[in-house]
C-alpha cells in the first residue's frame, strides 16, 4: 500500500472554537476513504486544509509525498475538489461549464476528455442544457465532471450527495465506483453512515476528533457488542421508559428500537419483563448486525 495522503497532528481553530483537534491518518492510493460525522464534526475544515484552501494551525499534510506548505500549487494541479456549494455557472450550458473549468486548469485539448466525462456521468443528452435548468442530482454530476476534466489523481468530495434524491444518489455512487476502477483515490465527507459502509476505510469524527478509524466492518466489530431490534405496542413510550431506566443502551430508529448489548439473549428477557410491568407489549424482536450508526451513537454516548 502506498500512502498518497498523510496527515499528522492536524489542528485548526476559529477563535475559541476548535474545529479540528489533533487528528492523524493516512489514505492509500486507489482507495475510497470516508470522513464521517454530523455537521460541526470538523469534516469540511479538514478537507479544505487538505486542498490547500485553509492553513493548518499545527500539524503536517503530505500529499504525493510532498508537504502542502511547500508544494501547494503542484498538489492543487493534481487534485480535484467538489465542495458542498460547487459554483456552476447557471447561464452556461453543460458543455460550456466543463470547457470553462478546462481553461482554468490549462487543459488545451479537452474535447475528447469532455465527451468521455459526459458519457461517464450520463450527461451527453443534456450537454446543451443550461446548468440552471438541471436537477439537483444532474448538477452534482456536472460538478464532478468539471472536477475531473484535468485528470486528477485524487478527488476530494465534500458531502457530494447531500440534498440529492435517492435515484441520483445511487447513480452518483456508480460513478464513484467507476473512478476507483481507474485508480483515482477518493476522499469524501458524508453525514450518512449508510453511505460510509461503501468506503474502504472510514474515520468517524465527533467534535473535531477522530473517535474510530478502520474498515467499516472492523469499526462495527470494535465495540464487541450486538444489537437487538425490537417492535412494541407503543414505541415512543418504550423508548422513554427504557432510556430512563439507565439499565439499557437504547436507540430509536423510526418504528423500532435497537438495544445494544453484550448478552442479547439475557437482555431481551429483562426488556420483556420491564415493558410488561409498564403495560407495554413486546410484539417482536430479532438479533441484528451492528450498523455504523449504532456504533457511532454508542461511541459518542460513552
Domains and CATH numbers, the chain: 3-220 (3.40.50.300), 223-301 (3.30.70.270)
Q: What is the pLDDT of residue 265?
A: 84
Ramachandran assignment for 207, one of left (phi > 0), alpha (psi -120 to 50 degrees), beta (any other): left
Which of 187, 198, 196 minimizes the C-alpha distance to 79? 187
**Cα separation, 196 vs 43, whole angstroms:** 13
Q: What is the pLDDT of residue 136?
A: 85
Instruction: Decide the pairing of beta strands 256-261 and 226-232.
Output: antiparallel
Q: What is the pLDDT of residues 153-202, one digit of tens each?
A: 999 999 988 877 888 888 888 888 989 998 999 999 999 898 899 999 99
Backbone angles phi, psi at 255, to 5 degrees: -100, 15
Q: Assess whether pLDDT exceeds 90 at residue 219.
A: yes
CA angle 159, 165, 170 (to 5 degrees): 75
User: Which triple of cell numbers denotes residue 284?
Assistant: 417482536
Confidence of residue 240 (pLDDT cuts 50, 70, 90): very high
Give, for 95, the enclosing helix (H) or strand (E): helix 94-104
Q: Encode burial over 177-215: b for 16+ CB neighbours within 10 A, e otherwise.
A: eebeeeebbbbbbbebbebbbbbebbbbbbebbbbbbee
Task: Give pTM, 2 decimals.
Answer: 0.88
Give, for 43, the enclosing helix (H) or strand (E): helix 43-50
Q: What is the pLDDT of residue 163?
A: 77
Lowest-pLDDT range, 24-33, 110-119, 170-179? 170-179
Give the C-alpha distances (Å, rounded to integers) separating 141 from 3, 112, 119, 137: 28, 18, 11, 6
Q: What is the pLDDT of residue 161?
A: 85
Mean pLDDT, range 10-30, rounded to an integer: 95
Which of 38, 34, 82 minimizes the C-alpha distance to 196? 34
Mean pLDDT, range 200-214, rounded to an integer: 97
Q: What is the pLDDT of residue 168?
A: 81
Q: What is the pLDDT of residues 251-287, one digit of tens each?
A: 999 999 999 998 888 899 999 998 999 999 999 999 8
Q: What is the pLDDT of residue 3?
A: 92
| Mean pLDDT score across all residues of the chain | 92
Mean pLDDT, range 235-239, rounded to an integer: 93
Q: What is the pLDDT of residue 301?
A: 84
Q: What is the pLDDT of residues 47-81, one digit of tens each?
A: 999 999 999 999 999 999 999 999 999 999 999 99
Q: What is the pLDDT of residues 129-154, one digit of tens each?
A: 999 999 888 998 999 999 999 999 99
Amino acid at each position: 500500500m502506498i500512502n498518497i495522503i498523510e496527515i499528522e497532528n492536524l489542528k485548526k481553530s476559529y477563535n475559541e472554537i476548535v474545529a479540528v483537534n489533533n487528528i492523524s491518518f493516512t489514505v492509500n492510493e486507489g482507495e475510497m476513504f470516508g470522513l464521517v460525522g454530523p455537521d460541526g464534526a470538523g469534516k469540511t475544515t479538514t478537507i479544505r486544509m487538505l486542498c490547500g484552501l485553509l492553513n493548518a494551525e499545527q500539524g503536517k499534510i503530505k500529499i504525493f509525498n510532498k508537504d502542502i506548505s511547500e508544494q501547494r500549487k503542484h498538489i492543487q494541479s493534481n487534485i480535484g475538489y467538489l465542495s458542498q456549494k460547487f459554483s456552476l455557472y447557471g447561464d452556461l450550458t453543460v458543455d460550456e461549464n466543463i470547457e470553462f473549468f478546462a481553461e482554468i486548469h490549462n487543459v488545451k485539448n479537452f474535447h475528447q476528455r469532455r465527451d468521455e466525462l459526459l458519457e461517464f456521468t450520463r450527461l451527453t443528452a443534456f450537454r446543451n442544457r443550461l446548468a440552471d435548468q438541471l436537477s439537483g442530482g444532474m448538477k452534482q454530476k456536472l460538478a464532478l465532471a468539471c472536477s475531473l476534466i484535468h485528470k486528477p489523481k485524487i478527488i476530494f468530495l465534500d458531502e457530494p450527495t447531500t440534498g440529492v434524491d435517492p435515484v441520483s444518489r445511487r447513480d452518483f455512487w456508480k460513478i464513484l465506483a467507476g473512478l476507483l476502477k481507474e485508480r483515482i483515490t477518493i476522499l469524501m465527507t458524508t453525514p450518512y453512515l449508510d453511505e460510509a459502509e461503501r468506503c474502504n476505510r472510514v474515520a468517524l469524527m465527533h467534535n473535531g476528533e477522530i473517535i474510530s478509524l478502520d474498515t467499516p466492518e472492523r469499526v462495527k466489530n470494535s465495540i464487541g457488542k450486538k444489537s437487538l431490534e425490537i417492535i412494541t405496542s407503543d414505541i415512543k413510550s418504550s423508548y422513554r421508559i427504557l432510556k430512563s431506566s439507565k439499565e439499557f443502551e437504547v436507540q430509536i430508529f423510526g418504528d423500532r428500537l435497537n438495544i445494544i448489548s453484550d448478552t442479547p439473549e439475557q437482555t431481551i428477557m429483562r426488556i420483556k419483563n420491564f415493558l410488561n410491568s409498564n403495560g407495554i407489549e413486546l410484539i417482536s424482536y430479532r438479533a441484528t448486525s451492528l450498523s455504523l450508526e449504532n456504533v457511532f451513537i454508542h461511541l459518542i454516548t460513552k
